[in-house]
Amino acid sequence: MVATSLRQLLDDLLTSPGIGESRTRYFDARPARTAHFPSWLDPRIVDALRARGVNELYSHQAQALEAIAKGNHLVVVTPTASGKTLCYNLPILHTLIHDPEARALYLFPTKALAQDQLAELNALSKSLPALRMFTYDGDTPQDARRSIRARANVVLTNPDMLHSGILPHHTKWLSLFENLRYVVIDELHAYRGVFGSHLANVLRRLKRLCRYYGSNPQFIMASATIANPRDLAERLTGEPVEELTESGAPTGEKLIILYNPPVVNPELGIRAPYLIEAARLAIRFLKEQVPTIVFAQSRLAAEVLLSTIKSAVEAKPGDAGLVRGYRGGYLPGRRREIERGLREGEVLGVVSTNALELGVDIGHLDVAILSGYPGTIASMWQQAGRAGRRNELAAAILVASSAPLDQFMVENADYLFGSPPEHALINPDNPYILIDHLKCAAFELPFSAGERFGEAVIDREVRALTEEGLLHEAGGRYHWTSETYPADHLSLRTVTTDNFLVIDTTARDAREKKGRKVIAEVDWKGAFQMIYPKAIYLIEGEQFEVQELHFREDEEKVAYVKRVSVDYFTDAISAKGIWLLERFDRTPAAEVEHARGEVLVAEKVVGFKKIKFQTMENVGSGEVELPQQEMQTSAYWITIGQTLLERISSSRDELIDGLRGVSYLLHQLAPVFLMCDVRDLGSWLGEETPVGEERRVRTVREIRQALLELPHFSPTIYLYDSHPGGIGLAEKLYTLYPDLIRHALTRLRECSCQLGCPSCVGPVNEVGRKAKAVARALLERVKREE
């Protein structure tokens, strides 16, 4: 059987009925721009490159080598597979073979990427004088650590390990710190928001120790396309950085399709479910043997998509393993196996979360299907970039969901294709983040009076830590005087570092510790969403029912699961509550108050829905008893007075529907203004309640009941930073709320639905038939009050 060509398949797709609302954009192939190897580059390296078939450099590689040779800090911004690793590997190998004492530190956001890059370095340096290059992370055996610390020329690690395993033990890393010449930070774009703010502080600590040991490393960074790579690089490193953005690598022709699933119920504004549409497209390509990657927006979506696609594509016996899943939580062995399968062509298709957005080496695929807008333009380009070979046609298809943001992007293709990718925002001086790193830094070396931390003046913080008894002043220096190990109490990524092991007890008793079967890992936060008792946990399409979840502090964090075969999956029902800690600012207005401040957000999974695979209908539910998770963060909120509300409607029910519509709409629209992800914000409709003893969370249904029964009806819409402590999103919203309200009104006026749809106030069957009208009236009043 001759497989239909990709061109043919795309033609078919673009001429099929129902494609009418979709948009396409075509990108021409672009030939390579090359340059000679610089004359100073060691001939042994040149030979090694030639042996691998590399006879010239791309222009950006040659430019990078020159910039690095000049001693500049550098950030290279070029697309996936443009050979950016050579930009840093070549000059570093050159230095290392001439100076065996020289050291380089490579940072990658994940352990897997460090492993990949080590393999790459080893391959490249095979014919060079022996160099000692090692990964150093949680998986490094204890007995190998000592020798790595003392002797490795190149250490490949991650920010977390640098933070908790290397910096606090710097005396053991003497030779690294004394001879550190290069710090490589790859996947720079991954370090934005809170994670990036942490890394900036980790790098401040690193530079502080380098100064102590008399070294002054050069920073070499590589990033996917974002709006402000140089700015991010400079904020992270605190150094002036040169930027290289022109790729000399060739690209094949590429078609990008923004696919809007057809409307199946015009009155309700309901489109064909995007997951089903995405699966349908993927199945079509895979059946014709076209290597395809499907990106899903959540772990659950990835598993649901995978189940559907697998059952259609792996029809024959012997097809098993043709389509695989890939997401956080899979064990490293499984991930490596899938990556290898993709590179070597045994695996034809993969359904992934954004885990494969990073530079994990999976070779080249022909088609990328993005099921749902990934939340940012930068991610969209990253995911679309997974499809593409040098000389052939490739395609990326964004299947829009009915979420307002997705619909906005499909309707405004020029906006999507024309806008620069998002800014990567970090705030290293965020007091919550800063103070924790100051503790770590003081543990590493006493602070001198008047010392700065990066750019930050820290006298006030040092004084406060001294008053707390954590620091002690002696001889003009501030010493750490606590028994604690501060790096242990600070995780760079999530609230806690504890992961839950998911253990298959189908064949074995849960209490038998020996030889037990761990099938996955789930992080602390994810655990309550995914592995509550009775949940169906999906892993590459296989179904497991959770029997027990152990989460108490004094017990091992595990979930025991048993294999099952059911036709539904489960979706957690959360309850939430917000309490006011402190109000920083407010607009003086009688009827509508805009404010910002600190809030306490509590969340808890209280139950789950069972959803049928094929139809996505709700077929049951259950309750669970799990701990409540609380965080302090910053919020922007609008409180609307009773008089104003009574002028709009006499029915509290309708008003609540309208308010929910407004809060949905504002939450979905705000990311466009803040250049952040929808998930970076949370929203909630409630009331202004000061924080008190009893902090009972409520489901959406319960909060409605509570609002209905309020003696004085003056509800509040909250939009809050979903990162603990906040990263300034709420503050920014407070300064631009007039724009937000104006755009929300425009959106309501222009939305073509009658009674509310996912693109404005939410689907009518969820928010009620009056929601859209009430929301519009509400927003008009709110605007008038300004």
Q: What are the residues binding another protein (CB under 8 A)?
A: 168-172, 174, 431-432, 435-436, 442-446, 468-470, 472, 474-477, 479-490, 495-496, 514-515, 524, 553, 600, 627-632, 724-725
Where is 400: in which H helix or E strand?
none
The residue (of 661 and 726) whose beta carbon lies closer to another protein is 726
Q: What's the closest the beta carbon of residue 290 comes to another protein, in angstroms?
A: 42
The residue (of 632 and 699) whose beta carbon lies closer to another protein is 632
The residue (of 194 and 675) whose beta carbon lies closer to another protein is 194
Nearest to 134 by CA among 109, 110, 103: 103
Cα–Cα distance between 665 and 717 in angstroms, integer? 11
Cα–Cα distance between 784 and 777 in angstroms, integer? 11
Q: What's the closest the beta carbon of residue 714 comes to another protein, in angstroms?
A: 28
Q: Which amino acid appears at position 548 of this protein?
A: E
User: Distances in Å between the alpha carbon of 246 and those of 59, 69, 74, 229?
Assistant: 8, 19, 14, 13
Residue 433 DSSP code: H
Nearest to 751 by CA among 771, 781, 766, 765: 771
Q: What's the closest the beta carbon of residue 378 comes to another protein, in angstroms?
A: 27
The residue (of 553 and 709) whose beta carbon lies closer to another protein is 553
Cα–Cα distance between 126 and 247 in angstroms, integer? 27
How far does Cα 616 stand from its chain's mean position? 26
Q: What's the closest the beta carbon of residue 630 comes to another protein, in angstroms?
A: 5
Question: The tokens of 518 are what?
Answer: 């761990």
Q: What's the closest the beta carbon of residue 168 comes to another protein, in angstroms?
A: 4
Q: What's the closest the beta carbon of residue 582 comes to another protein, in angstroms?
A: 12
Q: Map residue 758 onto helix, strand or coil.
A: coil
Residue pointed to by tokens 């000389």: 391
Cα–Cα distance between 379 and 385 in angstroms, integer? 9
Cα–Cα distance between 175 and 183 in angstroms, integer? 15
The residue (of 27 and 213) whose beta carbon lies closer to another protein is 213
Q: What's the closest the beta carbon of residue 692 comes to another protein, in angstroms?
A: 15
Q: What's the closest the beta carbon of residue 432 comes to another protein, in angstroms?
A: 3
Residue 168 DSSP code: G
The residue (of 182 and 551) whose beta carbon lies closer to another protein is 551
Q: Is 584 left (phi over 0), alpha (psi -120 to 50) or beta?
A: alpha
The residue (of 295 and 478) whose beta carbon lies closer to another protein is 478
Cα–Cα distance between 405 and 388 in angstroms, integer? 26
Q: Map residue 220 onto helix, strand or coil.
A: strand
The residue (of 476 and 738) whose beta carbon lies closer to another protein is 476
User: Distances in Å between the alpha carbon of 495 and those of 393, 409, 488?
Assistant: 44, 33, 12
Instruction: Say what angle helices 771-784 and 652-674 make with each other, to 10 degrees.
Output: 70
The residue (of 17 and 141) whose beta carbon lies closer to another protein is 141
Q: Are 97 and 44 in contact (CB under 8 A)?
A: yes
Cα–Cα distance between 65 and 63 in angstroms, integer? 5
Cα–Cα distance between 641 and 782 in angstroms, integer? 10
Q: What's the closest the beta carbon of residue 138 comes to another protein, in angstroms?
A: 17
Q: What's the closest the beta carbon of residue 133 comes to another protein, in angstroms?
A: 25
Q: What's the closest the beta carbon of residue 634 comes to another protein, in angstroms?
A: 10
The residue (of 174 and 264) whose beta carbon lies closer to another protein is 174
Q: What's the closest the beta carbon of residue 505 comes to another protein, in angstroms?
A: 16
Alpha helices (H) along 70-110: 84-98
Residue spans of beta strands (DSSP E) within 60-127: 73-77, 103-107
The residue (of 480 and 664) whose beta carbon lies closer to another protein is 480
Q: What's the closest the beta carbon of residue 170 comes to another protein, in angstroms?
A: 6
Q: Map residue 260 onto helix, strand or coil.
A: coil
The residue (of 473 and 780) whose beta carbon lies closer to another protein is 473
The residue (of 172 and 583) whose beta carbon lies closer to another protein is 172
Question: The tokens of 227 are what?
Answer: 């709006």
The residue (of 123 and 174) whose beta carbon lies closer to another protein is 174
Q: What's the closest the beta carbon of residue 553 comes to another protein, in angstroms?
A: 5
User: Distances in Å between the alpha carbon of 615 and those of 2, 268, 511, 537?
Assistant: 34, 18, 38, 19
Q: How would DSSP label each residue in 172-215? A: GGHHHHHTEEEEEE-SGGG--HHHHHHHHHHHHHHHHHHHHHT-
The residue (of 532 and 664) whose beta carbon lies closer to another protein is 532
Q: How far apart are the first and last CA of the chain?
A: 68
Q: What is the Rg, in whole angstroms, of the alpha carbon atoms belonging to the chain? A: 27
The residue (of 316 and 514) whose beta carbon lies closer to another protein is 514
Q: Are 673 and 736 in contact (CB under 8 A)?
A: yes
Count, residues in the chain: 786
The residue (of 172 and 280) whose beta carbon lies closer to another protein is 172
Q: What's the closest the beta carbon of residue 445 comes to another protein, in angstroms?
A: 7
Q: What's the closest the beta carbon of residue 330 comes to another protein, in angstroms?
A: 25
Question: The tokens of 528 are what?
Answer: 């309550």
Cα–Cα distance between 220 and 324 in angstroms, integer? 35
Q: What's the closest the beta carbon of residue 724 comes to another protein, in angstroms?
A: 4
Question: The tokens of 45 are what?
Answer: 């390296």
